[in-house]
């Protein structure tokens, strides 16, 4: 079955949820544009795909080759073929072990005070202004600084890290052609990132430290698990994933609160509800739209035959609003009893950084709701990134209502 929906259409990027609802109802497993990829939209089917790597492999690097402007293929992508995202067991299992210790709840608890200090520093700057941009002034620098410190790289370069990250993952695809100047800028950004992290990796080989880059290098040197390109790919992946997910969580959460003033008022009065609020944001307007898999054999899903080699796209954002799993799913409810959203994935590829993202999001909202006076959006529609797989804002201009705060 083929559906006319194009996942790259501007109206789908701006608000995908009505289109996902139609898929769930009428064509829960079907081919869509671009390229006839197979969209999977119901919760149970999405979980099934993610639970069975033997049927749905994560080795799907060809998707980016199809979607990206062909001029960007002049130079290799930074994330290697054997990255955490694009690997299956046993490679995936070995690589995950190298970094998982840094993201356990116990390890994250040890850096919680530092996360709060970073949030406080940025909120101090915000409070000195009448207007601010939630993305530029808090949602971006907080997680970028945290992951930079965990990797052991200079956090003062966070503007470069964010630019490199965006030029790796937030790339327009398909019907949005890039100018020659944009192509050259992106390729230059890749070269800069590759050169910088090659230098950092070489330094850790000479002088290991207690940081994530050193942990990954040990996997190459001591265990023979990774190639040099794999090490580079994993470092870049940690940088990108370590900031994009939380950045989108903070931005989407702030926008959602402004659209639901009753929830905003209640959170200010009852900050103990913030962890539940974080989970509801992840479900309702999570940072990831979809994942990609490749069918390793002919497989039938909900009565629909998917051929071997097909690219399958579990729509996690659609699954998170499936009424079969979440009653009244289009209602934002910060007291909702959570029933297993898949915003961080499921199964062996469940996001290793989920504990860090949750803590960063919780602390960001604890501090901004405690310290910031009432604020509102500047006029204009939300400015969404035109990313194929992610759901996040480019900017979120806000203004303090200090009169209301004084009253």
* Residue 93 falls inside a structural domain: yes
Q: Annotate 259-320 with DSSP letters as a single string.
A: H-HHHHHHHHH-GGGHHHHHHHHHHHS-SB----EEESS-EEETTEEE-TT-EEEE-HHHHT
Tell me, what CATH number does 301's domain have?
1.10.630.10
Phi/psi for 314 (5° steps) reads -70, 115
**pLDDT (0 to 100) of residue 233:** 80
* Residue 228 falls inside a structural domain: yes
* Residue 333 falls inside a structural domain: yes
Q: What are the beta bridge partners of residue 56?
A: 295
* Residue 3 falls inside a structural domain: no
* Residue 217 falls inside a structural domain: yes
**pLDDT (0 to 100) of residue 116:** 97
CB 46 within 8 A of CB 316: yes
- What is the residue whose two structure tokens read 């069975």? 52
Question: How far from the centroid of its chain's Cα atoms is residue 59's Cα?
Answer: 19
Please count the structural domains in the chain.
Answer: 1
* Residue 395 falls inside a structural domain: yes
pLDDT in tens, 169-198: 755 555 567 778 888 888 888 889 889 998
The pLDDT tens digits along the chain (407 residues) read 678 889 888 899 889 999 999 999 999 999 998 889 999 999 999 999 999 999 999 887 655 555 666 666 666 555 444 455 666 666 666 667 777 777 888 889 999 999 999 999 999 999 999 999 999 999 999 999 999 999 999 888 888 888 888 777 755 555 567 778 888 888 888 889 889 998 999 999 899 998 888 888 877 666 565 677 778 888 888 888 778 899 999 999 999 999 999 999 999 999 999 999 999 999 999 999 999 999 999 999 999 999 999 999 999 999 999 999 999 999 999 999 877 999 999 987 788 888 999 999 999 999 999 999 999 999 999 999 888 788 999 999 999 986 655 44
**Domain carrying residue 360:** 10-400
* Residue 405 falls inside a structural domain: no
**Neighbour-count burial of 112, counting CB atoms closer than 10 A to its CB (0-12 exposed, 13-18 middle, 19+ buried):** middle
Output the CA torsion sign for 381, 386, 387, 389.
positive
**pLDDT (0 to 100) of residue 308:** 96
**pLDDT (0 to 100) of residue 80:** 46
Q: How many residues does the chain have?
A: 407
* Residue 4 falls inside a structural domain: no
pLDDT in tens, 298-337: 999 999 999 999 999 999 999 999 999 999 999 999 999 8
- Bridge-based pairing state of the strands 131-133 and 56-57: unpaired
């Amino acid at each position: 079955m083929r559906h006319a929906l194009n996942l790259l259409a501007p109206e789908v990027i701006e608000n995908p949820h009505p289109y996902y609802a139609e898929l769930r109802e009428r064509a829960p497993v079907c081919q869509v544009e671009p390229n006839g990829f197979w969209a999977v939209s119901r919760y149970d089917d999405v979980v099934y795909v993610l639970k069975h790597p033997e049927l749905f492999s994560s080795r799907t690097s060809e998707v980016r080759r199809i979607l990206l402007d062909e001029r960007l293929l002049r130079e290799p992508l930074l994330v290697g073929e054997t990255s955490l995202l694009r690997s299956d067991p046993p490679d995936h299992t070995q690589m995950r072990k190298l970094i998982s210790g840094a993201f356990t709840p116990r390890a994250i608890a040890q850096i919680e005070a530092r996360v709060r200090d970073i949030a406080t520093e940025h909120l101090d700057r915000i409070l000195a202004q009448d207007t601010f941009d939630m993305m530029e002034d808090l949602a971006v620098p907080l997680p970028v600084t945290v992951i930079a410190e965990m990797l052991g790289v200079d956090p003062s370069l966070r503007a470069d890290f964010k630019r490199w990250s965006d030029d790796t993952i937030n790339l327009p695809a398909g019907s949005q052609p890039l100018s020659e100047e944009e192509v050259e800028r992106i390729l230059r950004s890749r070269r800069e990132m590759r050169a910088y992290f090659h230098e950092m990796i070489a330094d850790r080989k000479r002088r290991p430290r207690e940081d994530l880059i050193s942990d990954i290098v040990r996997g190459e040197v001591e265990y023979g698990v990774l190639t040099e390109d794999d090490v580079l790919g994993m470092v870049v992946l940690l940088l990108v994933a370590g900031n994009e997910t939380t950045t989108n969580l903070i931005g989407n959460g702030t926008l959602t609160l402004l659209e639901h003033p009753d929830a905003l008022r209640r959170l200010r009065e009852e900050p103990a509800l913030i962890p539940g609020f974080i989970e509801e944001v992840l479900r309702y307007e999570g940072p990831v739209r979809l994942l990609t898999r490749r069918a390793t054999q002919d497989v039938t899903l909900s009565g629909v035959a998917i051929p071997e080699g097909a690219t399958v796209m579990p729509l996690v954002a659609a699954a998170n609003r499936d009424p079969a799993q979440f009653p009244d799913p289009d209602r934002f409810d910060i007291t909702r009893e959570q029933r297993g959203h898949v915003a961080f994935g499921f199964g062996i590829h469940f996001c290793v950084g989920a504990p860090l993202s949750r803590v960063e999001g919780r602390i960001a909202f604890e501090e901004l709701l405690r310290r910031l006076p009432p604020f509102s959006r500047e006029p204009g529609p939300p400015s969404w990134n035109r990313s194929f797989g992610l759901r996040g804002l480019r900017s979120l201009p806000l203004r303090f209502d200090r009169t209301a705060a004084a009253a």
